[in-house]
């Protein structure tokens, strides 16, 4: 293709990333305590909630990978952003309309000033 990037570099970066991720995993597995790969209540060490802990109202999910377990770390890490985003999704018709008007106003302003 064109430019200074090439698809091959992507593959290199991908392979290096895989190696780094594998090393990280090995290190984390050794450093963390109580990782269990198999058996009842397998516990993942980086992402995932403690399988032994009983979550109220979710007792029947114990030991299964449920939707809330995976990506726990990411979601907790930037929780504030997600809270802000979720708060905006109110589902109220008035909000939808006001956002539409805001969008049109923004486009209108930009086009009139610099168009």
Looking at 3, 34, 39, 56, which residue binds other proteins (CB under 8 A)?
3
CA distance 61 to 81: 28
CB of 114 to other proteins, least distance (A): 4
Asked if 99 is part of the footprint of other proteins (rule: CB under 8 A), the reply reads yes
Annotate the chain with DSSP letters as a single string: --SS--HHHHHHHHHHHHHHHHHHHHHHHHHSS--BSSSTT-B-SSSS--TTSPPTT-GGGTTS--TTTTTHHHHHHTHHHHHHHHHH----HHHHHHHHHHHHHHHHHHHHHH-
Interaction mask 9-48, other proteins, x per CB under 8 A = -xx--x----------------------------------
CB of 59 to other proteins, least distance (A): 13
Q: Footprint of other proteins on this chain (CB under 8 A)?
A: 1-3, 5, 7, 10-11, 14, 58, 61, 63-71, 74-75, 81-82, 85-86, 88-89, 91, 93, 95-97, 99-100, 102-104, 106-108, 110-112, 114-115
């Amino acid at each position: 293709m064109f430019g200074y990037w090439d698809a091959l570099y992507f593959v290199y970066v991908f392979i290096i990333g895989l190696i780094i991720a594998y090393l990280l995993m090995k290190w984390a597995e050794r450093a963390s305590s109580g990782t269990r790969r198999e058996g009842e209540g397998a516990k993942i060490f980086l992402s995932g909630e403690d399988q032994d802990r009983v979550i109220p109202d979710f007792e029947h999910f114990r030991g299964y990978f449920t939707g809330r377990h995976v990506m726990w770390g990411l979601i907790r890490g930037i929780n504030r952003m997600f809270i802000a985003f979720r708060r905006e999704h109110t589902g109220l018709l008035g909000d939808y309309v006001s956002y539409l008007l805001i969008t049109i106003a923004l486009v209108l302003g930009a086009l009139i000033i610099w168009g």
